[in-house]
Chains A and B, each alone.
Chain A
Amino acid sequence: MSALRIAVVYPDLLGTYGDTGNGVILERRAAERGIATELLMARSSEPLPEADLYCLGGGEDGPQVLAAERLVADGGLRRASEAGATIFAVCAGFQIIGASFPDAAGNRHDGVGLIDVTTTKGSGPRCVGEVAVDPDPALGLSRLSGFENHGGVSTLGEAAALGTVVAGVGNGAGPAIEGAYRGHVLGTYLHGPVLARNPDLADLLLRWATGSGELEVLDDAAALDLRSERLASVGC
């Protein structure tokens, strides 16, 4: 098999909250298992490269609008997703892969439309703080930990929630749910970066991207200790 290609999408626009770390973590976890891996930093001034796994991160309002416009115009992310690539998107990235999202003034902008999620401007204060999520049992993951920091409110259409919120806000519309997934597209509001705290989520993405059912077990004592401590900090 040729090398697993992991692309961090537009780190120049969507790199504000340390989320490029998710790409680094995926690359290391694949490499430690002897999987040949290529990590691509896909800047917004270049055409989006072909990859097996795309990571999108958080970003500020202006750059978020620009990133969405460029991704829609480029077309590469949609083509890759339709061809079965894994898409993992955090915060502003999560909003971008949905149908639409608001800018700072509340004006609606088109997303890439990879998942049936619509984001609008929240009426309350910005959601900032630790989050604990019980993931959809179908995903086979342990309780997730992350840090949210967003003003938007996301409503799901034909997509499943990543999980149920145990602490924090999450998507912020209706029931206490967080994130969304459908097929190999997964979005979440969790920073941290989220894959640093939740190695089983990282491995789920790697299984999707490589098509392998089993991955060699790594020593994740430090990450699991971090997750327990973060969950305990919000009483979970």
Chain B
Amino acid sequence: MGVRAMVGVAVVLLVNAASRLSRRGSGTVAGGRAGLAVDPRLLAKLAQSRHMALVSGTNGKTTTTALLSAALGSTGRRVASNATGSNMPAGHVAALVGGRGAPTGCLEVDEAYLGRVLDDTHAEVVVLLNLSRDQLDRMSEVRMLAERWRGVLEQSTTTVVANADDPLVVHAASGSTGVVWVAGGLEWRDDAGACPQCLGPISFAAQAPGWSCSSCGFARPTPSWVLDGTTAIGPVGRVEMVLGLPGVFNLRNGLMALAGAWSMGVPVEEAAAAMSSVIDVAGRFVDRDVAGTPVRLMLAKNPAGWSALLDTVADEDAAVVVSINARTADGADPSWLFDVDFSKLAGRTVVATGDRWRDLSVRLRYAGVPHETEASPTAAVALAGSGAGERVDVIGNYTAFRDLLESS
């Protein structure tokens, strides 16, 4: 590492320490940004001597990164990771500086930054989860992202661990030389109705997980990793996954992480055992307490995430608080609320809150879900709990979840 990079690292540490002292956020992004200002090649230099893995996609990035980090650490090696979800280069720099000396790096990467981060890190493995609509006012359209991923991966020698169930991901990965196909599931098909190769109609098989384009024959590749209940079946046989996180979508994330770890040479038994210790992913799915009311706090950011989460909580009858914001990090246009089937909440006590509770209230009205409204999220939790001491399910989109996490 040259002098410039060493100064860069020192600046990252200094800014992080200063911002922790002044209590302005966790400091990770500020430090990373300052370091990159000193040395724009800092990420490349920090990644140079490490085994690197990247995780990207619309949904499941943070959870899969946590599971993959645990799996990669099962051999006793230290793993540097951006566990808080700061998934742009400044966050990556901060994570690698924070984990100095760790021989392995596992980074969650914002979909739009995958090319740049892969160029910088020369990662051995890239795990691609799924692509669907998210933050329509900020992100490029999902097809454009798939096309850009494909361009990047065609030029790279990295091993791509790709979800065979998502036509957009398959399109992105199929130009690369080494692909490990995984049956990662697809919660949301409405962005994959038109073939990414020829725009012909993609038809999804009713029972089997297959899909194909009736115009050009583009079809689901045969995955080498599949899920059978809670058992992962891969090239080296069957391994049981006992996860501390709820829902089928987390089992799918686990399968992707397992395939990623295996691709980096980690024995699957050890990897699976290490993954079972992950119970808290940046505060998600964890029992908390908001102003005296016990809550289960959950995050859903876009239609695909909501669909998966509403299915996971469907069997419960606890009161539900739904909190919706539309700040910069959420996307300024909450039209997507109408892509979410909120009728699954009918019959439960529901309270609408967050900056955009009015949008949500109108959405719930048309979904036939009677509900109350309360502008303050903490007051909404109290209203839903009504002092009975029973646990309340709280689901928020990005900044709404973050604010509730901080107040819990």
Contact residues of B between 285 and 310, Cβ < 8 Å to A = none
The stretch that binds A, out of B148-156, B332-340, B391-399, is B332-340
Given contacts A16-B136, A17-B136, A226-B359, contact A66 B339 (CB under 8 A): no
CB distance from B133 to the nearest CB of A (A): 6
When the two chains form their complex, are residues B199 and A63 in contact, meaning their CB atoms are under 8 A apart? Answer: yes
Q: Within A36-73, which residues are at the interface with B (CB < 8 Å)?
A: 43-45, 60-63, 65-66
Q: Mark A139-154, 1 if CB is under 8 A from B, else 0.
A: 0000000010100000
Instruction: Scan A94-136; emit 1 where CB is below 8 A from any B CB, else 0.
Output: 0000000000000000000000000000000000110000000
Q: Which of B12-20, B52-60, B99-107, B137-145 contacts A (4 or more CB under 8 A)?
A: B137-145
Also in contact, A222 and B191, with CB within 8 A (given A16-B136, A44-B201, A149-B136): no
Most buried by B among A15, A19, A61, A197: A15
Q: Is the CB of B333 within 8 A of A147?
A: yes
Output the least CB separation between A96 and chain B (Å): 15
Q: Are B359 and A63 in contact (CB under 8 A)?
A: no
In the bound complex, how far is the Cα of B313 from the Cα of A126, in angstroms?
38
Stretch at the interface among A80-88, A172-180, A188-196: A188-196
Bound state CA distance, A91 and B162, in angstroms?
A: 33
- Could you tell me the distance in whole angstroms from the C-beta of B400 to the nearest C-beta in chain A? 17
When the two chains form their complex, are residues A196 and B359 in contact, meaning their CB atoms are under 8 A apart?
A: yes
Contacts of A147 in B (CB 8 A): 332-333, 335
- Known contacts A24-B338, A28-B366, A149 near B137 by CB under 8 Å: yes
Q: Is A236 an interface residue (CB 8 A)?
A: no
Contact B366 A226 (CB under 8 A): no
B267 → chain A closest CB, angstroms = 43
Q: Which residue of A lies closest to B137 (CB)?
A: A128
Is A168 close to B, CB under 8 A?
no
With a CB–CB cut-off of 8 A, which chain B residues contact A62?
Answer: 143, 194, 199
Query: B194, B332, B366: which contacts A24 (Cβ < 8 A)?
Result: B366
Instruction: Report the minimum CB–CB distance from B212 to chain A (whole Å).
Output: 13
A20 within 8 A of B: yes
Are B133 and A16 in contact, with the CB atoms below 8 A? yes
A18 at the interface (CB under 8 A from B): yes
Whether the pair A17, B190 counts as a contact (CB closer than 8 A) is no
Indicate if the CB atoms of A11 and B190 lie closer than 8 Å: yes
How long is the Cα–Cα vector from A28 to B366 in the complex, in angstroms? 7
> In the complex, which of the residues A43, A191, A193, A226 contacts B358, with contact meaning CB atoms closer than 8 Å?
A226
Question: Does A226 contact B194, Cβ atoms closer than 8 Å?
Answer: no
Task: Check A18 against B199 for contact (C-beta < 8 Å).
Answer: no
- Do A61 and B141 have beta carbons less than 8 Å apart? yes
**The residue from B190, B363, B365 contacting A15, defined by CB atoms under 8 A apart:** B190
B216 at the interface (CB under 8 A from A): no
- Report whether A16 and B141 are in contact in the complex, using a CB–CB cutoff of 8 Å: yes
Complex alpha-carbon distance, A55 and B297, angstroms: 37
Question: Are B193 and A44 in contact, CB atoms less than 8 angstroms apart?
Answer: yes
Min CB distance A148 to B, Å, is 9
Q: What string of 1s and 0s marks CB contacts (under 8 Å) between A168-210 and chain B?
A: 0000000000000000000000011100110000000000000
Contact of A66 among B133, B199, B337 (CB under 8 A): B199
Which residue on B lies nearest to A26, using beta carbons? B366
State which residues 59-81 of B face A: CB under 8 Å. none
Residues of B within 8 A of A24 (CB): 338, 366
Q: Does B346 contact A (CB under 8 A)?
A: no
A163 CB within 8 Å of chain B: no
**What 0/1 readout, one digit per residue, does chain B (350-371) give for beta carbons within 8 Å of chain A?**
0000000011011101101000
The residue of chain B having its C-beta at the shortest distance from the C-beta of A148 within the complex is: B333
Looking at the assembled complex, report how far the CB atom of A15 sits from the nearest CB atom of chain B, in whole angstroms. 6
Partner of A45, one of B201, B335, B363, B366: B201
Q: How far is the CA of A149 from the CA of B144 in the complex (A)?
A: 16
Q: A93 interface residue, CB < 8 Å from B? A: no
Question: Cβ of A192 and Cβ of B193 under 8 Å apart?
Answer: no
For A63, list chain B residues within 8 Å (CB): 143, 193-194, 199
Report which of A12, A18, A226 forms a contact with B361, defined as CB distance below 8 A: A226
Q: Determine the distance from Cα of A13 to Cα of B137 in the docked complex, in whole angstroms.
A: 18
Rank and list the top 9 A-B pairs by shortest CB-CB distance, nearest first. Answer: A21-B338, A12-B193, A18-B335, A226-B358, A18-B338, A60-B141, A45-B201, A147-B333, A66-B199
Can you list 12 A-B contacts with CB-CB less than 8 angstroms, sorted by A residue number? Answer: A18-B335, A18-B337, A20-B339, A21-B339, A21-B363, A66-B199, A149-B136, A191-B333, A191-B335, A192-B335, A193-B338, A222-B361
